[in-house]
A and B are shown apart, each in its own frame.
Chain A
Amino acid sequence: MMKLSRRAAIGLGLGAAFAFSTVGAYAADPIKIGFPANVTGVQASLDGPMLNGAKLAVAEINAAGGVLGSPLELVTYDSKSDATVISTVASQLIDSDKVVGIIGFADSDSVLSIGPQVDKAKIPFITPGATSPKLPSQLGDQVFLAAFGDNVQAAVGAEFALNKLGAKTGYLLTDIGSEYTTLLSDYFVSAYEHGGGKLLGKDTYKIGDKNFTAQIAKIKALPEQPAFIYASSNAEEIGLILKQLRQAGINLPVVGGDGYDTPLLLEVGGAAANDAYFTTHAFMGEGASPAVQAFSDAYKKATGNAPENSFAALGYDAVKLMADAIKRAGAPEPAKIRDAIAATSGLPGVTGTITYRPGVAVPDKSVSVIGVKDGKLMLASEAAPAFVPEP
């Protein structure tokens, strides 16, 4: 009895594998783009919307006749926010599915996991959401960012504080538990000091911390109070930090990066989030630009809800960027597509216009500064920085 069921189980597994491989063989006609996504695990709140945005872009492109006469096909696997699965998925995409390009991930860690393989196979790779400007130099010339680099958003944050808030003195709070926040702080310091600002002090905490009273006590004990606080934080902590700051009677403006850009900021921060500002890819709220508004409506139609955050728009833009490059390459061949991506100039997108300077795989994009006023998000400024720190 046991033997039979075991054999049946193996048979089922083989049958499924076989059925699957034949499905793959029939679908040779469309142009295949790999899209590994962490739709389960810790990155799901970013990669999920990103995947929806990407699917929307593919549907729009195919409805308009595809690229070079063939439809696009998004080959998606769940990479489970796990480095081991990411490397397996990458080889599956490159080796079994023979994709001509790969798009994926909202965080630098996942990109670091896939990087060596795309470089070895010479498959162009675009990350919609990772923002470390060091990635291309770490991983080779197949890797492109669709978003601005952290050096750019940190510079915009610093200039916003100096010019719009008139804050000549600041205090820096850094989450040293993640690559993104650590780098962001470094870039902020060089941009702020370059612009003539003066930091009165620095402090750190680690991702996952819940209590910030020690850090807050240190700010209160300063001989001279700063004019604002730059908090380089991830989504989970910033709400708590704001709450505890306001409870301690510190009502200074707080500025940070696109890590704030999830619904958690208002949900956790509540009224304490007032006077918080963050740099991000696009403003999605009321009174957004026509391009964003059109995207929002299409996204709502496709998924039933408004875009969760700007990563949805980044996924959408990354697919458009890849499709545009394939069109200009003239043939779905990885080497040509890679060169076409590098030559992208003035491509309009929901999150801004994408142009790659020669030899730089991080686009020059404008940065939106979003502020919280009366419990609502509003566009505070949209700018490109005058000075950008070296990556």
Chain B
Amino acid sequence: MKADLRIPLAVAAALILAAVVAFGAPHVVGDYFVRILLLIALNSILVLSLSLSNGFTGVFSLGHVGFIGAGAYAAGILSLTVQQKKALLPHLPDLLNWFSLPFLPATLAAGLFAAILAVIVGYPLMRLSGYFVSVATMGFLIIVNVVLINASDFTRGARTFTGVPLATSLPWVLGWLAVTLLVLSRLVYSPFGRRMKAVRDDTIAASAVGISVLRARLVAFVIGAFFAGVGGSLYAHYLGSFSPNTFYFAMTMNLIAMLVLGGMGSLSGAIIGVICVSILSEVLRSVERGFTIGDITVPALFGASQIVLGFLFILIMIFRPKGIMGDRELTFGLSGRSANHNQKEGKDR
């Protein structure tokens, strides 16, 4: 029965730690480090939501950023002040231009909007497997980009969408990260999560034992899209101004690199991937300006950070093809007990 308490205690301790960091960090470290922390947490939400379809269900989606972009624009339109809507989006339909939502409802609405999009897109696309689904979801990303550029009454077209209140703060992002982690860990390590992994590992065998492949994939895709939409809203309220090309191939590649580096079948791996890539690119960005140690002066080499990062990715893929974590989790010795515990519970029932 002791194991019973250990996991809730660990979760509570983690939440308290997160709260302390969220509210304490801005007083202890400078704005720059708070921003790095915030970006790591924000990208963690995005990569975690990506891991649900790409890692756990075996649907290698390249369209995830489409949901992030849709969420960002949806939230941005909802939370612009009424005066700004009149100034920046004069042709917005009457339905949308008379109100302005606070941060949290706008974020939830963005998540729901992305989830509904995912249902519509996913229903036909989740029947596809392998490369086909990657290409098809990439098509979705391109469609989102073109729609964002052309629906200028709603999005200002390719011009910068600006004026979104800068509401994203560290407590908000860490709070959403906690929600994301909680939901995803409950889902992935549940019977339904095992169905998702069965679909990933062998589609034919999974359907032979009665698992609905479409349903498993669709649920993963839609829940992933919900958190992508939420992340998009957080991003929009972090940047304040953005354009359709903010949410395009560059971001896709960045998120996929973080996921693959950390390990595709692991929630903690996703976060570790984000932390490694973020810290590395920050350090490299500062080092590439050139520096002097003693008598040695290294001149500025702008662009070197991208080269070094790319090279590191190649090395990791050669020596650790499953990423840093593979499909293992960082559990601090708690998971074994919980698995036994769950089994016992199952038997009792």
Instruction: Enumerate chain A interface residues (CB-CB to B < 8 A).
Output: 2, 13, 16-17, 19-20, 23, 39-40, 76-78, 82-85, 87-88, 91-92, 94-96, 108-109, 112-113, 116, 138, 176-179, 182, 206-207
Contacts and interface: CB of A to CB of B under 8 A. Distances in A.
B30 interface: yes
A88 B158 CA distance: 23
B20 interface: no
Contacts of B305: 78
Contacts of B166: 116
B239 interface: yes
Nearest to B43: A84
Nearest to A107: B160
Contacts of B286: 17, 20, 77, 92
A80 B280 CA distance: 16
A311 B243 CA distance: 24
A126 B287 CA distance: 26
B158 A178 contact: yes
- Closest CB pairs A-B (n = 7): A177-B158, A95-B30, A95-B32, A95-B31, A112-B241, A179-B159, A91-B32
Contact of A84 (B32, B239, B280): B239
B39 interface: yes
B187 interface: no
Nearest to A48: B302
A193 B18 CA distance: 60
Contacts of B175: none
Given A94-B31, A176-B152, A108 B160 contact: yes
30 contacts: A2-B319, A19-B293, A20-B283, A20-B287, A20-B291, A23-B291, A39-B302, A40-B302, A76-B289, A77-B289, A78-B305, A82-B246, A83-B242, A83-B246, A84-B239, A87-B35, A88-B36, A95-B32, A96-B32, A108-B160, A109-B160, A109-B243, A116-B240, A138-B162, A176-B157, A177-B149, A177-B159, A178-B159, A206-B157, A207-B158
Interface in B263-303: 279-280, 282-283, 285-289, 291-293, 300, 302-303
Given A13-B280, A176-B157, A40 B303 contact: yes
A88 B291 CA distance: 20
A91 B283 contact: no
B190 interface: no
Contacts of A95: 30-32
Contact of B32 (A19, A88, A179, A207): A88
A85 B319 CA distance: 30
Contacts of A178: 158-159
A83 B303 contact: no
A325 to B, nearest CB: 25
A13 B276 CA distance: 10
A54 B242 CA distance: 27
A182 B283 contact: no
A278 B58 CA distance: 54
A23 B293 contact: yes
B59 to A, nearest CB: 27
A206 B145 CA distance: 14
A78 B158 CA distance: 24
Contact of B241 (A17, A76, A109, A206): A109
A112 B289 contact: no
A17 B32 CA distance: 14
Contact of B30 (A20, A82, A96, A109): A96
Interface in B46-73: none
A95 B35 CA distance: 11
A88 B280 CA distance: 14
